[in-house]
Amino acid sequence: MSATVFDERRNQIHRKGDTPFDLACDKDSLAGAVSQRACVFCGSRVVLYPIADALHLVHGPIGCAAYTWDIRGALSSGPELHRLSFSTDLRERDIIFGGEDKLYRALIELIDRHAPQAAFVYSTCIVGIIGDDLEGVSRRVEKEKGIPVIPVQSEGFKGNKRAGYHAACRAMFRLTGSGGTSAISAKSINILGDFNLAGELWIIRRYYERMGIEVVANVTGDGRVADLQRAHGAALNVVQCSGSTMDLAKMMQAEYGTPFLRVSYFGVEDMAESLYTVARFFEDLDPEIVSRTRELVKEELESLYPELEKYRSALAGKKAAIYVGGAFKAFSLIKAFRLVGMDVVLVGSQTGTKEDYQELYEITDRGTVIVDDTNPLELSSFLQDRHVDVFVGGVKERPIAYKLGVGFCDHNHERKTVLAGFQGMLNFAKEVHSSVMSPVWRFVPRHTTNSTPGSEEPASVPERLTAAGGA
């Protein structure tokens, strides 16, 4: 490995082909490395807040509540309470004397004003420190107002973003099991791990409906409290994104015996395979379902492939880098880039597990750099050293790419373009093409680095970094 890396993080970075693969992961971020990860609270908020008819109240200082709908655009087909951000705005006095009374008053006022179907109360760092009794206040309000009031134990210091996913799943699990399930079809699923960015969930739902499958609950894009309450009545949980909702699927399997399948809706291969996987699950109940699904896939591909060809010829041989929250999305993106003829030279995630990285290792080409929980310094270095043409990431990766004069494709919650489903693959190719081929790069020359452009092996690590054990 020859790019700029922190000595303490060398075992979280691997270049395929160098040595046997054994990547360290799922650990706390290195102090001082300015990880790209968000905090525990942000992790739980990402998962829960698309539930559109619930009240989302952040118990903490106003700064924690800055994480709003405005930067995470999950769409709703009905109520839009999730678009409003509420905070108890804790001040110095509350920190000294406790914030429970303020929380109680805020909940009562907001429930009276907005009539939500449930309320989620997020704990932030300072609430964990002063020890406000979120459970006690929530129980009291729940009793008085007659709706579920659910504390989300998401103090920011408690771990990494993955701990936030777990807190969100525990909160949602408290809702399941309380709704009626008698009218639910035997051929029914819950869609877990899609957040309905740009309306993607609606596209996926339509695929399943065309296959003859009832969707009971969207977890959590375009989500509803009542659907979650009856989610245990579905025959199957279909889980996208390895990190965010897998814990809920496991809890439901343990409690209600609901089996789950992992899928991905990104890229043609994974989208088709996801539908076939679900079809095969219901084949005993409906022998025609696989052939119906085959027809659906055929129809979609017939219109997609001729369009895709236009971009493929221009993009062949270009280089891509991927850095995403959950590693599962990276699997699909690698296949999507291959479909348009591009090479993935760097891939990584914030919250990948051993199993995720093993799978990444198996599907990547020799020479690909695999990174866990990286930081801007390393990412900048890799992007330059590997001569990347387009970088796929989220809001925190975008400025890194632009500052280096590298094309960028937003594949995170901030985007406004459908990238899931068959249509999404075409949009993805279009977006990558317009970014890579943009004439703007002629006017923004790539920053030169310590490496020699065009050389296979980049130059050595700068002295100042290795000597200090990091920047």
172 near ligand SF4 (CB under 6 A) = no
d(CA 120, CA 317) in angstroms, rounded, equals 48
99 near ligand SF4 (CB under 6 A) = no
The residue (of 72 and 319) whose beta carbon lies closer to ligand SF4 is 72
The residue (of 39 and 106) whose beta carbon lies closer to ligand SF4 is 39
Burial 207-216 (b: 16+ CB within 10 A, else e): bbeebbbbbb
Shortest CB 60 distance to ligand SF4, Å? 6
Closest-by-Cβ residue to ligand SF4 is 156
d(CA 358, CA 465) in angstroms, rounded, equals 29
Shortest CB 163 distance to ligand SF4, Å? 11
In the list 51, 64, 231, 339, the residue contacting ligand SF4 (rule: CB under 6 A) is: 64
Q: How many residues bind ligand SF4 (CB under 6 A)?
A: 7
The residue (of 57 and 289) whose beta carbon lies closer to ligand SF4 is 57
- Helices 421-436 + 327-339 axis angle, to 10: 70
d(CA 464, CA 6) in angstroms, rounded, equals 11
The residue (of 106 and 432) whose beta carbon lies closer to ligand SF4 is 106
The residue (of 33 and 330) whose beta carbon lies closer to ligand SF4 is 33
Site for ligand SF4 in 297-356 (CB under 6 A): none
Q: What amino acid is encoded at 218 in this protein?
A: N
The residue (of 25 and 163) whose beta carbon lies closer to ligand SF4 is 163
d(CA 223, CA 80) in angstroms, rounded, equals 10
The residue (of 158 and 387) whose beta carbon lies closer to ligand SF4 is 158
Which residues, 6+ apart, have CB-to-CB distance to 14 below 8 Å?
1, 21, 22, 23, 361, 369, 370, 371
**SS3 state of residue 97:** helix
Residue 385-424 contact track with ligand SF4, rule CB under 6 A, x = bound:
----------------------------------------
In the list 23, 25, 39, 152, the residue contacting ligand SF4 (rule: CB under 6 A) is: 39
Task: Tell which residue, 264, 270, 267, has the closest CA to residue 246.
Answer: 264
What ranges make up the beta strands (E) of 249-376? 260-263, 319-324, 343-349, 369-372
Shortest CB 244 distance to ligand SF4, Å? 17
Shortest CB 234 distance to ligand SF4, Å? 33
Q: What amino acid is encoded at 36 in this protein?
A: Q
Shortest CB 119 distance to ligand SF4, Å? 18
Shortest CB 42 distance to ligand SF4, Å? 6
In the list 60, 233, 325, 407, the residue contacting ligand SF4 (rule: CB under 6 A) is: 60
Residue 101-130 contact track with ligand SF4, rule CB under 6 A, x = bound:
-----------------------xx-----
The residue (of 36 and 258) whose beta carbon lies closer to ligand SF4 is 36
Task: Tell which residue, 21, 345, 23, 36, has the closest CA to residue 9.
Answer: 23
Please name the helix (run of DSSP H) or strand (run of DSSP E) that holds residue 299, with its range, or none: helix 289-315
Shortest CB 380 distance to ligand SF4, Å? 24
Shortest CB 76 distance to ligand SF4, Å? 25
Local structure of residue 244 (DSSP, 8 states) = T
| C-alpha to C-alpha distances, 220 to 44, 213, 223, 298, 438, nearest whole angstrom | 12, 18, 5, 29, 35
Going by their DSSP bridges, the two strands 319-324 and 214-220 should be labelled as unpaired
Shortest CB 65 distance to ligand SF4, Å? 9
Shortest CB 41 distance to ligand SF4, Å? 4
d(CA 188, CA 195) in angstroms, rounded, equals 19
Look at phi and psi of residue 100 and say left if phi exceeds 0, alpha if psi is from -120 to 50, else beta.
alpha
In the list 50, 79, 156, 394, the residue contacting ligand SF4 (rule: CB under 6 A) is: 156
Shortest CB 125 distance to ligand SF4, Å? 3
Site for ligand SF4 in 211-240 (CB under 6 A): none
What ranges make up the beta strands (E) of 293-342? 319-324
Task: Tell which residue, 322, 349, 350, 324, has the closest CA to residue 335.
Answer: 322
The residue (of 91 and 310) whose beta carbon lies closer to ligand SF4 is 91
In the list 5, 35, 36, 41, the residue contacting ligand SF4 (rule: CB under 6 A) is: 41
The residue (of 38 and 252) whose beta carbon lies closer to ligand SF4 is 38
d(CA 101, CA 321) in angstroms, rounded, equals 49
The residue (of 64 and 192) whose beta carbon lies closer to ligand SF4 is 64
The residue (of 63 and 367) whose beta carbon lies closer to ligand SF4 is 63
Longest CA pairwise span in the chain (Å): 69
Q: How many CB atoms lie within 10 A of CB 111?
A: 21
Binding residues (CB under 6 A) for ligand SF4: these are 39, 41, 60, 64, 124-125, 156
